[in-house]
Amino acid sequence: MGLLDSCRSNIVRKKNELTKLQSDRANETKKISTQTNKILNAKKAMQRTKSITTIKSKYREIERVESTLAAIDKKVAEIDRKIAKKEAEIMAEEKKLNLESDREQKKRNADEKKRIAENEKRMKEVSGMLERHSKMHQEANKTLEELKNLPEKITVLFIASNPLNAPQLRLDEEAREIQEMIRKSEHRDSVLFKTRWATRSLDLLQAINEEEPTVIHFSGHGSENDEIVFQDNQGNAKFVSKEAIVQTIMSASDNIKLIFFNTCFSYAQAQALTIHVEAAIGMTTSIGDDAARVFAAQFYSAIGFGLSIKKAFEQGKAALMLEGISEEDTPELFVKEGLNPDELIIVKP
């Protein structure tokens, strides 16, 4: 405990003791009135009686009361002495408190003066550094502003289509592994993973309107004619052109930042869509089930850690190589003209 706190504590304690002494004095003073009344009553009784015995009894009573009053007066005097002493102690403590407060204030003033001088010195150093690195700070501020504009949560809309009359793909495994990797990522609470299964062409607009996704992930078949394979009402393949996909995305939510075609021969669709979205990923040729699953899972894991789209893309390729899957050159990343893929971040760190 510091000296100031000790002084304050002593003052509070001594004032409480003073209050107790004053209360004791008041209680003793009340007794004087009571004892005085007893003497008056005894004298009145003596005046009303002619009995020698009664008169002698009252004299003895008066003597006892006067003895009690003397004891009370002595006690009151002792309490007064203690009160005077306690008041002197309080004054001494308050004087000590004032002196220590003045000393502390002078010390604070000196420290503040020193702090201001040090701050001024640091500000000069910082100003010089800012001048030397102004470009770096401008870029950092730009990045921070972009991060502020990122949504608190993003939605990844997983569009799956596995027609009955086409080779069956393990799309459920791909979705499950993506979801698991997102769950393990640092910012997992910022990524909502929504799935649509057995998707028909018109289901796409409905799903986009309902979920307002930040990322749309197509999983299924693609054709060499730049088409995406959806399902018809009977569950069979229905081919949708690149132009139809572009028109759909153009007419959809402004929140979409990334389109991920995890389908064969989809690089042309991805390239065409960068007019309307910040980035798109497509496949330059056919891609195997395992490659599609491993690449996508690692990509979304990196996104969930707040990495840029470019770094997430490179990590997806690295995952293929680590697994010994020789398809790392199949995925291709496209970005809107004028944007730097290293600066495109869609999950707010």
Mean pLDDT by 10 residues, the chain (349 residues): 80 89 88 87 85 86 87 90 91 88 89 91 88 76 58 90 96 97 95 97 95 96 96 96 95 90 97 96 97 98 96 98 97 96 88
What distance lies between CA 249 and its chain's CA centroid?
35
pLDDT value at residue 140: 64
pLDDT value at residue 5: 83
Q: What are phi and psi for residue 219, nearest 5 degrees?
A: -130, 125
Three-class DSSP labels, 300-337? HHHHHCCCCHHHHHHHHHHHHHHCCCCCCCCEEEEECC
DSSP, res 343: G
Using only C-alpha atoms, the chain has a radius of gyration, in whole angstroms, of 45
> Can you read off the two tokens belonging to residue 18?
């003073």
Count Cβ atoms below 10 Å from residue 253 Cβ, excluding itself.
14
pLDDT value at residue 66: 87
The CATH architecture of the domain made up of 151-343 is 3-Layer(aba) Sandwich (3.40)
Dihedral sign for Cα 340, 346, 348, 349, please: negative
pLDDT value at residue 127: 83
Count Cβ atoms below 10 Å from residue 85 Cβ, excluding itself.
12
Q: Angle at Cα 243 formed by Cα 151 and Cα 217, nearest 5°?
A: 40
Do residues 58 and 46 make contact, with C-beta atoms less than 8 angstroms apart? Answer: yes
**3-132 sits in which CATH class?**
mainly alpha
* Cα separation values, 101 from 5, 15, 105, 227, 333, Å: 10, 20, 6, 82, 68
Provide CATH 1.10.287 ranges for the chain.
Answer: 3-132
How many alpha carbons lie under 13 Å from residue 248 in its C-beta half-sphere? 19
pLDDT value at residue 49: 84
Contacts of 193 (CB under 8 A, 6+ apart): 155, 156, 158, 175, 178, 179, 182
Provide CATH 3.40.50.1460 ranges for the chain.
Answer: 151-343
